[in-house]
């Protein structure tokens, strides 16, 4: 069965799912998106994803042409049409077709696109053995230029960092901000474990407020683990006892080496493994 893609109220076969070449989402990266997961036919943290999508749209003065409830219903229908229970959902909202100029006032009819499919970001052995990161020279977008808290269609900053990581033989790359502080990786938030405490960069460092990040913080607090959102440097990463990443597609994945330096004993640590297991249970037993 051909995969069906939702575009502004209608379903199209994957090969026929098209938008205008004059769409500002294509021409200028003018739009926003969300990556969402479904487990056992239930969308994980739908409301939080809808809130973040609307916040991103509001920040760039883009009006989404449907309500949050209508969007949620369209997501669920797209999953149903494609027969997907455990899958990945990409929701994209573009400014719509306009002119070759920058003026967004010439755009009309914002496009809403919903794609559902299966995804496996990292092979299973990396969840068992951990992955390696390298710190790249490409810094995170300056918050005064384009806030990293906006999940926009312009991901060139992250892509350039990803290329640097690949060239160094790493599947993920650690990005710093303009002050040299740790922010996040190209697609995932980062956590450190030091002396039993969980440390992660604050929003002010220039990070995306991850839905999985928030879930892991909640799980840690419920387990009695102290969590601090504080500015971190590469030094903090190098001396950490454990390190792991969180993201919608990645879920929770351990990191065992950064810039050729082993983290802890070079294997996924006990707190990382415990939070991985707890998140796995949370995601697959959730009800909404």
Question: Residue holding tokens 């098209």?
Answer: 18
> Do strands 197-200 and 227-229 pair parallel, antiparallel, or not at all (unpaired)?
parallel
**151 classed as catalytic:** yes
- Active-site position among 4, 42, 151, 162: 151
DSSP conformation letters of 76-132: HHHHHHTT-SSEEEEEEEE--B--SSS-GGG-BS--EEEEEE----S-HHHHHH-EE
Question: Which tokens sit at 100?
Answer: 């070759």
- Using DSSP's 3-state secondary structure scheme, residue 103 falls into coil
On whether the CB atoms of residues 42 and 288 are closer than 8 A, the answer is yes
Question: Which tokens sit at 20?
Answer: 């205008």
H or E element in which residue 94 lies:
strand 87-94
- Using DSSP's 3-state secondary structure scheme, residue 55 falls into helix
Beta bridge partners of 242: 193
On whether the CB atoms of residues 152 and 46 are closer than 8 A, the answer is no
What is the spatial distance between Cα 269 and Cα 26, in angstroms, rounded to a whole number?
42
Residues forming the active site = 151
């Amino acid at each position: 069965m051909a995969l069906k893609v939702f575009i502004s109220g209608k379903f199209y076969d994957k090969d026929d799912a098209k938008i205008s070449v004059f769409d500002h989402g294509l021409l200028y990266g003018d739009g926003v998106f969300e990556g969402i997961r479904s487990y056992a036919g239930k969308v994980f943290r739908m409301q939080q994803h809808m809130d973040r999508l609307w916040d991103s749209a509001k920040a760039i003065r883009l009006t989404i042409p449907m309500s949050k409830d209508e969007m949620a219903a369209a997501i669920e229908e797209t999953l149903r049409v494609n027969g997907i229970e455990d899958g990945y959902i990409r929701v994209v909202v573009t400014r719509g077709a306009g002119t070759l100029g920058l003026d967004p006032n010439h755009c009309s009819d914002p496009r809403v696109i919903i794609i559902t499919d299966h995804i496996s970001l990292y092979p299973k052995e990396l969840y068992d053995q951990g992955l390696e990161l390298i710190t790249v020279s490409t810094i995170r977008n300056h918050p005064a230029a384009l806030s990293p808290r906006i999940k926009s269609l312009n991901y060139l900053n992250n892509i350039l960092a990803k290329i640097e990581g690949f060239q160094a033989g790493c599947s993920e790359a650690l990005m710093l901000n303009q002050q040299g502080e740790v922010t996040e990786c190209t697609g995932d938030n980062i956590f450190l474990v030091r002396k039993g405490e969980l440390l992660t960069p604050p929003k002010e460092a220039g990070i995306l407020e991850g839905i999985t990040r928030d879930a892991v913080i909640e799980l840690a607090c419920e387990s009695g683990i102290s969590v601090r959102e504080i500015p971190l440097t590469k030094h903090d990463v190098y001396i950490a006892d454990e390190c792991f990443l969180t993201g919608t597609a990645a879920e929770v994945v351990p990191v065992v080496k950064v810039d050729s330096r082993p983290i802890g004993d070079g294997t996924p640590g006990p707190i990382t493994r415990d939070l991985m297991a707890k998140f796995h249970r949370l995601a697959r037993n959730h009800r909404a």
